[in-house]
Amino acid sequence: MNKPVKLTAVGNSTGVILPKEVLARLNVERGDELFIVETPNGIELRARDPEFEEKMRIARQIMREDRDLLHALAQ
């Protein structure tokens, strides 16, 4: 997708108007948060926090590897 977006004044800041199609693809709506992520290819907008996603991936791995130990501790 290659679409121009408009920058607009929002108080003392500047906002970006995103087309409905972009909001639908991100699965977000007005009032939701987006995360700005700098990548080697440029800036990306993401609907989820990449740092939190990585922490959850590590937590799931630990829970999978140490399932028996965690089960015993829960007793």
CATH number of the structural domain spanning residue 62 = 2.10.260
Dist. CA 9–CA 29, nearest whole Å: 20
Dist. CA 62–CA 70, nearest whole Å: 10
Please report, in tens digits, the pLDDT of each residue of the chain (75 residues total): 788 899 999 999 999 999 999 999 999 999 999 989 899 999 988 888 777 878 888 988 988 888 888 888 888
Residue 35's domain spans which residues?
A: 6-74
21 domain residue, yes or no: yes
45 domain residue, yes or no: yes
1 domain residue, yes or no: no
Domain count of the chain? 1
14 domain residue, yes or no: yes
pLDDT of residue 37: 87
Dist. CA 34–CA 70, nearest whole Å: 34
pLDDT of residue 43: 92
pLDDT of residue 9: 96
What is the rounded end-to-end Cα distance, in angstroms, of the chain?
Answer: 52
